[in-house]
Amino acid sequence: MPRPDGPGGFAARSFLTEEEKTDAPHVTKELLAAGGIHHGLYETQFRQAIESEQTDSGNGPALDIQALSTGFDVHRITEAAIADVYLLAQANRLYYEYLHTEPTVAGLTEVISEVPEGTSLADKHFVGFYNEGGELVAIMDLITGYPETDNAFIGWFMLDVDHQRKGIGSQLFADVRAALSAQGYNHLELGVITDNKEAKGFWEAQGFAPTGRIVDNGEYSVTVYSRDI
């Protein structure tokens, strides 16, 4: 199973110092220019993702990611956007308190190529939602054709803190659901950290209900939610 509504499977350590964390975009560009860890991850992960999408049709119907939103531009998250993803994740401190960890640039970069067993990178749609000013408003890691061919799994959905409690998350999900339905998907699943009352309240408001499955991950447990599209 992918991360419970967020990336909880990666190591909590970071190769950034505390000072560097405050200037993540600058650090990321420097590392790319120097051919450091980000360059290596690009070569081994993102390039593999591109090649996989060119040769693998995936488990379910093809997904048009631009159809996932009527109000925002949708783009695949690549390594070039990880600094923005890091800043968005870092501001969502309550979520990471439930995970008992901290976001790291290295860990978030790994999300580019993480897929659940039985799927391929062609089934993975790690996307960002951008406003007209080019600001990253939300991120979603969507797995199609999982766990069944006509299903989709939301591995992670996170909204920028400045855009929360304004109805934007609900509108984004309504657009995602409409796009999935139009492209042949009938059922959605996701995992929520059991103690995360805020996330549970949000997803229940979107029509999800617990399936009765709870996965123990040691420091926290994950409750599986589902709904028909």
Give the DSSP letter of residue 206.
Answer: T
**pLDDT higher at 197 or 53:** 197
In the chain, where the domains are located: 18-142+153-184
DSSP string of 142-198, one letter each residue: EEES-SSTTEEEEEEEEE-GGGTTSSHHHHHHHHHHHHHHHTT--EEEEEEETT-HH
pTM confidence score: 0.75
pLDDT at 55: 42
At 23-68, the pLDDT tens digits run 444 444 443 343 333 333 333 344 344 344 444 557 766 789 999 9
Instruction: Answer whether CATH 3.40.630 is correct for domain 18-142+153-184.
Output: yes
What share of the chain has pLDDT > 70, as a percent?
A: 73
Q: Residue 114 to residues 13, 109, 133: CA-CA distances in angstroms? A: 18, 10, 29
d(CA 32, CA 39): 5
Q: Indicate the pLDDT class of residue 213, thresholds 50, 70 and 90.
A: very high
pLDDT at 63: 86
Averaged confidence pLDDT in the chain: 81
pLDDT at 33: 41
At 136-191, the pLDDT tens digits run 999 999 999 999 999 999 999 999 999 998 999 999 999 999 999 999 999 999 99
